[in-house]
Chain A
Amino acid sequence: MRDDITQLLIEFKDGSRKAYNQLFPLVYNRLKQIAGRELAREDKGHTYSQTDLVHEGYFRLINQNKVKWQDRAHFYAIAAKSMRRILIDHARKKRAQKRGGDKRAQTFIDEIMNIDKQAEELINIDEALDRLAALDERMAKVVEFRYFGEMTFEDIAEVMDLSARTIKRDWAQARGWLYKELRG
Chain B
Amino acid sequence: MSAMHHSTLSIKIYNIRKAFSNDGIMDQKEWVQIKEIVGQALSLEADSRDSYIQEACEGNELLQARVQEQLRSIAQSEKENFLEDIGSKKGAFIADLSNRWTSTDPDKLIGRQIGPYEITRLIGEGGMGVVYRASRIDGAFDQHVAIKLIKKGVVSKATIERFHTERAILARLQHPHIAQLYDGGLTPEGIPYLIMEFIDGVPIDQWLDEHQSTTAERLALFQDVCQVVQYAHNNMIIHRDLKPQNILVDKQGHVKILDFGIAKLLKQNHSDDSNQETLPNNRFWTPYYAAPEQFSGLSTSVATDIYALGSLLYLLLSGTKPYNFDSKSIHEIEAIIKVNDPECPSNMIADSYPEKSKIQKKLRGDLDALILKAMHRQPQHRYRSVGRLLDDLQRYESGLPLKARKSTFLYRAVKFGKRHAVGVLIFLMFCSTVIYYSHQLKQERDHAQLESKKAQEVTKLITNLFQASDPNYADGAVITAHDLLDKGAFQVQKMTNQPLIQADMLLTIGQMYQNLGDYERSKPLFKQAYEINQHQYGLKDPRTLQTLVALLGSYHFLKEKAQAELLFDKIQEENLLEVIPDNIQMVFLLNERGLMDLREGKFGSAEIWHQTALERYKQLPEEEKDKVFKSLLLNNIGFSLENRAQYERALSYYRKSRATVVSEVGEHHTMSAVAFGSLSRAYRGLNVMDSAKFYNEKTLNMRLNLLGEQHEQVADSYLNAALIARKEKKFTTSEELFKQAKQIYSHTLSDSSRFVGKLQMEMGLLYLIQRDTINARQCLKKSTKILTSTLSVDHPWIKQNQRLQNAIRKASGKALN
Q: Report A's interface with B, CB cutoff 8 A.
A: 34-37, 39-40, 42, 44-45, 47-51, 53, 86-87, 90-91, 94, 103, 107-115, 117-119, 121-122, 125, 134-136, 143, 146-147, 150, 169, 172-173, 175-180, 183-184
Known A135-B31, A175-B77: A87·B100 in contact at CB below 8 Å:
no
Q: Which of A113, A178, A183 contacts B189 (CB 8 A)?
A: A113
Residues B151 and A45 in contact, CB atoms below 8 Å apart: no
User: From A38, which residue of chain B is reached at the shortest CB distance?
Assistant: B98
19 sampled A-B residue pairs with Cβ under 8 A: A34-B98, A47-B91, A48-B94, A53-B94, A87-B97, A103-B283, A107-B101, A107-B102, A109-B101, A109-B108, A115-B96, A119-B93, A125-B83, A134-B28, A135-B31, A173-B74, A176-B73, A180-B69, A184-B73
| B residues at A contact (CB < 8 Å) | 26-28, 31, 35, 38-39, 42, 69-71, 73-78, 80, 82-83, 86-87, 89-106, 108, 110-112, 125, 129-130, 149-153, 189-191, 283
Q: A39-B98, A169-B39, A179-B77 are in contact. Are A44 and B93 (CB under 8 A)?
A: no
Structural contact, B39 and A108, CB atoms closer than 8 A: no
Taking each of B80, B93, B96, B150, which has the highest tally of chain A beta carbons within 10 Å of its own beta carbon? B93
Cβ–Cβ < 8 Å partners of A136 in chain B: 28, 31, 35
Shortest distance from the beta carbon of A5 to any chain B beta carbon, whole Å: 22
B100 touches A176 (CB 8 A): no
Residue of B38, B74, B130, B190 with most chain A CB atoms under a 10 A cut-off:
B74
Q: Which residue of B lies closest to A86 (CB)?
A: B97
User: For the complex, what is the distance from the CA of A36 to the CA of B97, rounded to whole Å?
Assistant: 6
A8 to B398, CA, bound (A): 91
What residues of chain A lie closer than 8 Å to B152, measured between beta carbons?
A: 111
- A47 and B112 within 8 A (CB): yes
Given A115-B93, A177-B73, A179-B82: A48 and B98 interface contact (C-beta under 8 Å): yes
Which partner residue on chain B sits nearest A109 by CB separation?
B101
Residues of A with C-beta under 8 A to B93: 87, 90-91, 115, 118-119, 122
Nearest residue, chain B, Cβ from A110: B96
Taking a contact as CB atoms closer than 8 A, the residue among A90, A111, A134, A172 that contacts B97 in the complex is A90
Q: What CA separation (Å) do A40 and B74 show in the bound complex?
A: 38
CB of B763, distance to nearest CB on chain A (Å) = 52
Q: A35-B97, A113-B92 are in contact. Are A107 and B104 (CB under 8 A)?
A: yes
Besides A36-B97, A112-B191, A135-B31, 12 other A-B contacts (C-beta < 8 A): A44-B112, A45-B111, A48-B98, A50-B87, A94-B96, A107-B101, A108-B104, A136-B31, A143-B83, A146-B83, A179-B74, A179-B80
Q: Are B106 and A108 in contact (CB under 8 A)?
A: yes
Among B38, B69, B92, B98, contact of A40 (Cβ-Cβ < 8 Å): B98
A176-B190 contact, Cβ under 8 Å, with A48-B98, A87-B97, A136-B35: no
Chain B residue contacts of A39, Cβ below 8 A: 98-100
Whether B28 lies near A135 (C-beta < 8 A) is yes
With a CB–CB cut-off of 8 A, which chain A residues contact B98? 34-36, 39-40, 48, 53
Closest partner residue, chain B, to A108 (CB atom): B104
Q: Do residues A115 and B92 form an inter-chain contact, with CB atoms below 8 A?
A: yes
Q: Do B151 and A111 touch (CB < 8 A)?
A: yes
Among B77, B105, B129, the one with the most A-chain Cβ atoms within 10 Å of its Cβ is B77
Q: Do B130 and A108 have beta carbons less than 8 Å apart?
A: yes
Contacts of B92 in A (CB 8 A): 109, 113-115, 118
Check B190 against A50 for contact (C-beta < 8 Å).
Answer: no
Contact of B149 among A50, A112, A175 (CB under 8 A): A112
With beta carbons under 8 angstroms apart, the residue of A44, A50, A122 that contacts B110 is: A44
CB-CB under 8 A from B106, the residues of chain A are: 108-109, 112
Decide yes or no: A109 and B83 within 8 Å by CB, A175-B74, A179-B77 being known contacts.
no
Q: How far is the CA of A45 from the CA of B103 in the complex (A)?
A: 19
